[in-house]
Amino acid sequence: MQSITRGLTQTSKRLASKSLLATSSINSTSSSSSSSSSFSFNTSSSLSSLSSLSKTFINNNNNNQTIFKSLYSNNNGGRDENIDFQNTVEISGLPSTITKHDIQDLFPGLSISHNGIKMIFDDETNLGYAYVTFDTQSDRLGALQIRDANIGSVKVNILPLSINKKDWKDIGSSSYLHRTAVTNHLWRSRTPLFELKSKTINHPPSNKTIPIVEKSPQDSFTEIFLHFSSDINLREMYLSPFGHLRIGRFLEDLDALAGTVAYKHAEGTSEEKLFTIVTACVDRIHLLRPLCPDKDFKMEGIVTWVGKSSMEIMIKVRSMDPATKVWEPVLISYFTMVALNPENRKAAPVNQLVLDTEKQRKLFEDGELHKQQRLSHSQQSLQTSPPTDAELKTIHDLFMTSNQPQQFEKTQWIPMKNTNQTTVILCQPQERNMHGNIFGGYLMRKGFELAFTTCFVRFNKSIPQFFAMDDITFLQSVDIGNILSMDATIVYVHPIPDLKESYYVQVEVTAHVSNPIKSGPEKKRSNTFNFTFLCTPPDSSTNYSTTAQQPEKQGSGDIPKPIRILPQTYTEAMRYLAGKRIVDRQKLYSQSDLDVWRE
């Protein structure tokens, strides 16, 4: 673990003195001749590809101009954007030739409010939605009682108004301009599958047993190339303010790649075998080397373990050494994906894994071990079980030490509560995934960015270096229109052996969602993210610390005081111990994450 730490810190210091300028575009090619896939991203020949996407987007906006005008304007030319949610119904499946008179004819005897019909259509499908607001609640209930509603020969559905106002997984899914080149391409490559699903999802469930087959790990193997060394346009999509590649962007790509690999393993050739695949948890993401922007990268995703409805996806990231042309290990991550029946959202059985080689069997055993470790960590969680005797002694020693006045002359104690940073996000439709929920990779990116800034504020002598993300569980989906609150706190700090003034800094980020219309200010926890950073003194060649706040000095000497986090309540003490557990686990993971690279 120490050798990895030294490699990260030394390379990162060299990178910190560089600055890169670039512009962006995308190019991708895929091989469809076999189940295994390889995608290459090189923008040299495809600026026009992005341009055409942009033109399509602009043209769609122009075509929809009159539609949005009718949605938001009233007869007096003013704007009326408010919808009375209590008295409104939603009509789906409308053909593009529909008129307001056609909708009025659906509700004879019911009183529709003035300007109470609002419509929107999608150019790609020529289908749309209408939102009809009635004068009274009884009129709305009367509308919902109508069965077998038809406009001409087209059957339409009259439904209670959903909070999101739209079925976001159906509208405008041909491109994802807010995602990276990798995520955009991976999602678009799944489009034929989702078009098939949209055609079959409304059919009554079949009692026929869907066959489970065996697949090799190689059947779902997917490979991604990122040519950063020669393509400054692509590099610009990932570049951070400090000359590094953005970890948050890579987190999005890792989540998208894990989903693609899981779909390829779980799905069959039968139209009846259609799943919704969700990210259940991220066991860990461990960075072995810095993400250098002047190197090419390769991402490899493969299924390593399969249960009844869950799959472990291992993703390796490599970078090419420009001198030796050798692909070197950079990052290792493990995602647990779960297949759900799209009709009832219950776990659905997936194809089993056939193991042909000794390496595949070893990876399967590791996957089983990871599952047992997750169960063990859950059972021993401080949320449900008391601390061990050794941990209680740690907290007591911390309490006794911090109460000795002379300790404040030797140590810089930072109250845990003083490290907290908070952000509030209104979840926008542009951040949705293919299922119409907020993309899990986006949540990880926002969690990382908040954790990074929280760490940077306190350890500001150098740029914090991401080391690992551990033990991430997705407790519930986040919907468009939800309010997402994220709180980040430094819960634990541990000095790095043999590196002066250097620390492992553990940052916990909790995410809560609320739906003001349905549940008012009530918040529900959606995620807890745990990030480990390396904070080391700056290199003499960098100047990031020239304006940064300097740590306190010890007495009359020039040696900075060692930094410690001070929990002041029982809850903070439990968070401190949870952070300590994660840092201690990293020591065990470091060796195993190196062993997995041995061919």
- Number of helices followed by number of strands (H, E) in the chain: 15, 22
N-terminal to C-terminal alpha carbon distance within the chain:
21
Q: Are 482 and 527 in contact (CB under 8 A)?
A: no
d(CA 516, CA 519): 5
3-state secondary structure of 558: coil
pLDDT at residue 537, rounded to an integer: 74
pLDDT at residue 426, rounded to an integer: 94
Decide yes or no: CATH 1.10.260.40 for domain 389-541+560-596: no
Residues pairing with 489 in the sheet: 508
C-alpha triplet 142, 344, 268: angle, nearest 5°: 130
The structural domains of the chain, with segments of one domain joined by +, span 80-165, 180-202+209-380, 389-541+560-596
d(CA 15, CA 22): 16
d(CA 148, CA 155): 7
* Same fold? 180-202+209-380, 389-541+560-596: yes
d(CA 450, CA 448): 5
Q: Are 238 and 299 in contact (CB under 8 A)?
A: no
Quick one: which H or E segment has residue 402?
A: helix 389-402
- DSSP secondary structure string, 268-315? -SSTT---EEEEEEEEEEEE-S---TTS-EEEEEEEEEE-SSEEEEEE
Nearest to 119 by CA among 67, 44, 191, 186: 67
Architecture label for domain 80-165: 2-Layer Sandwich (3.30)
pLDDT at residue 492, rounded to an integer: 95
CATH number for the 180-202+209-380 domain, one of 3.40.640.10, 3.40.50.300, 3.10.129.10, 3.30.230.10?
Answer: 3.10.129.10
d(CA 468, CA 333): 9
- DSSP secondary structure string, 19-30? ---------EEE
Please tell me the number of Cα atoms within 13 Å of 90 on its side-chain side: 16
With 0.75 as the threshold, say if the pTM is over it.
no
3-state secondary structure of 353: strand
Q: Are 596 and 366 in contact (CB under 8 A)?
A: yes
Q: Which two tokens stand for residue 75?
A: 């007869």
3-state secondary structure of 31: coil
Q: Which two tokens stand for residue 358?
A: 């000794």
Q: Which two tokens stand for residue 146?
A: 């109508």
d(CA 122, CA 128): 6
Residue listed under structure tokens 């987190």: 251
Q: Under 8 Å CB-to-CB from 293, ≥6 apart: which residues?
A: 15, 18, 20, 228, 235, 238, 239, 243, 244, 245
**Crossing angle between the packed helical segments 191-200 and 181-189, to the nearest 10 degrees:** 40
C-alpha triplet 170, 52, 44: angle, nearest 5°: 120
d(CA 475, CA 477): 7
Nearest to 99 by CA among 77, 70, 78, 69: 70
Q: Are 460 and 549 in contact (CB under 8 A)?
A: yes
Q: Are 503 and 553 in contact (CB under 8 A)?
A: no
Question: What b-and-e string marks burial along 405-436, b requiring 16 or more CB atoms within 10 Å of the CB?
Answer: eeeeeebeeeebeebebebebebebebbbbbb
Q: Which two tokens stand for residue 518?
A: 């349905």
Q: Which two tokens stand for residue 559?
A: 């040696």
Q: Which two tokens stand for residue 392?
A: 């209680």
Hey, what amino acid is at 279? Answer: T
- DSSP secondary structure string, 195-215? HHHHHHTTSPPP-SPPPP-EE
pLDDT at residue 8, rounded to an integer: 59
Nearest to 494 by CA among 407, 569, 398: 398
Mean pLDDT by 10 residues, the chain (599 residues): 57 45 34 52 42 34 34 36 68 81 88 83 69 88 86 83 48 54 70 49 51 88 90 87 90 91 78 72 89 92 94 94 92 92 82 92 92 86 90 90 76 92 91 82 93 92 89 85 95 87 93 87 90 77 37 53 90 94 79 64
Q: Are 401 and 464 in contact (CB under 8 A)?
A: no
